[in-house]
Amino acid sequence: MPTDDRFIYMVSMAQHTLRTYLNSLFSKEGMKITPPQATLLFLLQERDGRIMSELGQVIGVDNSAITGLVDRLEKAGLVIRKLNPEDRRSLLIYITPGGRKEAKKAEAIIRRVNESIKAGFSARELDTFKKILNSFFEMFRSR
């Protein structure tokens, strides 16, 4: 089998494969949310009451995409919006108790998948893989 050195293609396909697999697991386990929505819930668990533009910046999506994610989460009763008392032009997003439950279920699925990805690799191989992934963040974050 020839070695493929099209790294951009390989990273893109790995991301697509992982996203498809996670979507499938979320669906099979009766989740009300998608992996990107889970990411928002995780961020709100870390620090509740964030503005939408901050959430978009953290996960790297534009304002229209973050608005759509929040709209769907709000419709499902997993987040609520409140006026920002410091800036009435912006809204703060808060996670609901139902959102916390859904995030906990998503966290368990993601933890299982993460462990299965690591299975069969040595600690040294995993460290190398982490180093490679972190180099992407460093290389492209500063540009």
Cβ proximity of 28 and 37 under 8 Å: no
2 lies in some domain: no
- 52 inside domain: yes
- In contact, 50 and 43? CB cutoff 8 Å: yes
* 87-95 and 50-51 strand pairing: antiparallel
Please state, rounded to an integer, the average pLDDT across all residues of the chain: 92
The predicted-structure confidence for 18-68, as pLDDT tens digits, reads as follows: 999 999 999 999 999 999 999 999 999 999 999 999 999 999 899 899 999
State yes or no: pLDDT of 142 exceeds 80.
Answer: no
Summarize pLDDT for 82-99 with one digit per residue, the tens. Answer: 999 998 888 999 999 999
- Give the domain range for residue 80: 7-141
Record the pTM: 0.85
Does residue 80 lie in a domain region?
Answer: yes
Which pLDDT value is given to residue 129?
Answer: 93
Residue 1 lies in a domain: no
DSSP the chain: -PPP--HHHHHHHHHHHHHHHHHHHHHHTT-SS-HHHHHHHHHHHHSSSEEHHHHHHHHT--HHHHHHHHHHHHHTTSEEEEEETTEEEEEEEEE-HHHHHHHHHHHHHHHHHHHHHHTT--HHHHHHHHHHHHHHHHHHHT-
Q: How many domains does the chain fold into?
A: 1
Q: What is the CATH number of the domain that holds 29?
A: 1.10.10.10
